[in-house]
Amino acid sequence: MTTVTRFAPSPTGYLHIGGARTALFSWLLAKSKGGTFLLRVEDTDRERSTKQATDAIIEAMAWLDLAAEGTAVFQSERFDLYNSHIDQLLAAGRAYWCSCTPEEVEAMREKARAEGKKPKYDGRCRELGLGPGAGRVVRFKTPQDGVTAFHDMVKGPTAVQNAEMDDMILRRSDGAPTYNLAVVVDDHAMGVTDVLRGDDHVANTPRQILLYQAFGWDVPKFGHVPMILGPDKAKLSKRHSALSVMEYKKLGYLPEALVNYLARLGWACGDQEIFSREELVKLFPAGNLGNSPSVFDLKKLEWLNAHYIKEAAPERLAALLPEFLAEAGPLDGLNLDPAYLASIMPLLQPRAKTLVEMADMARFFLLPTDKLVYDEKAVADQLKPESRELLAALLPIYEAAGDYSDHKALEAATQAFLDKRELKFKAVAQPLRVALTGKTASPGLFETMCVLGRAESLARIKRALAL
């Protein structure tokens, strides 16, 4: 049987880290078995569901390269299907109409609590043979004895006494189907064989299994992954960087870094930390999913992102960078030639943890000499008279240099100059750095000069001397 999994978000907000991890695990479970990954949008909450949130979820999944096969299923378009199945259960005597008000049901629960029993609906309408009517709901006839058991792909053997479950509502008084009914009908109709989801759904699973059995359908495999916690072991929230997936894109993270990080957030394969997508697909069995909550660690995500930045093709990073440059300031006057940007990337890749940092580091390369901003403190500290004298003496040597294609030749010429004066490299390093970049931190000096080119390097040194 072909493995079919699904991701079923509710479009009441953006796709966050927990949902993205669930989507990734479901995608990997399908792909590791040569199966199919589907998307279902559970938009039955008409007041809170928005098209904007739906589009944002789909955009985030596409950025993570977790796009589902086929057309997304929208629950809001399937109410007739759900209600026809509720009618089937009514006709088969597996469901019944209930006239109890919410206040009456709450009173039943309070009475049960007071008696030390399970707080639930007491089934008083179960055998009354009621029909439809104003304010009435349809309830499922839950078996009153026996056990509903299943093997959770993450948690192992799980069982619930049927007597512990109440007769859940299948159709609300406004005619809308409930979550558990809609999910079962959809998963069956979509051919879903494996359901991997958050462990906040554990309590729903026995109820859904009973519905599968009532319809006479095959029951899929279920797995429930634990929640993600913040570093303080509290539920992940915004203060822990629980941002939407696309916020991480804006912060300069690469999708492959986030995918790698999310995969390791509750799944393991020995001590390996870095996985290509192909490795994840090859190595991912649900049996290696952890049963304990995972702790979100932003530093580890940064470390992985730095790794993937180092490994990325310069041309790809050059194509991504203008978006981040625009966030930091106007693009007017910047040299955004793709080939020039790509030539800068190898100097920044070993230094940047995010594309935001990379854009900040790259800016001085892209400005024309007359627009270069000099840090006042750096100028005061590093361009003192004796330093200016050295730069002025170095200028003819750099003017005599060739096409600036060999940074080692520039370094050797500079070292020969220093040797004659019996000076160490630090005598010119920072003054030259400030002259070329306007600040005291940058990639290698001579590599920087080669990327800037002869004309730009000389112009910057001359401008610094004239400050």
**Quick check: 208 and 180 in contact, CB under 8 A?**
yes
The dihedral region occupied by 404, where left means phi > 0, alpha psi between -120 and 50, and beta the remainder, is left
**Quick check: 315 and 342 in contact, CB under 8 A?**
yes
If residue 195 lies in a helix (H) or strand (E), which one and from where to where? strand 194-198
How many Å apart are CA 396 and CA 430, to the nearest integer?
19
| β pairing state of 73-74 and 169-171 | unpaired
Burial class (CB in 10 A: 0-12, 13-18, 19+), 81: middle
**Quick check: 27 and 7 in contact, CB under 8 A?**
yes
DSSP 3-state of 9: coil
**Quick check: 223 and 196 in contact, CB under 8 A?**
yes
The dihedral region occupied by 267, where left means phi > 0, alpha psi between -120 and 50, and beta the remainder, is beta
Choose the catalytic residue: 118, 238, 282, 384. 238
- Which of these, 162, 237, 155, 234, lies nearest to 196 by C-alpha position? 155
DSSP β-bridge partners for residue 159:
149
Q: Is 424 a catalytic residue?
A: no
- Which of these, 72, 37, 10, lies nearest to 194 by C-alpha position? 37
Which pair of structure tokens corresponds to residue 420? 């004659």
**Quick check: 244 and 12 in contact, CB under 8 A?**
no
Q: Which amino acid is at 402?
A: G
If residue 79 lies in a helix (H) or strand (E), which one and from where to where? helix 79-91
How many Å apart are CA 89 and CA 84, to the nearest integer?
9
Q: C-alpha distances in angstroms, 462 versus 369, 398, 447?
A: 10, 11, 19
Q: Which amino acid is at 85?
A: H
How many Å apart are CA 356 and CA 250, to the nearest integer?
8
DSSP character for 194?
E
Tracing tokens 């020039």 back to the chain, one arrives at 340
DSSP, residue by residue, 265-310: SSB-STT-----HHHHHHH--GGGB-SS-EE--HHHHHHHHHHHHH
Active site residues: 238
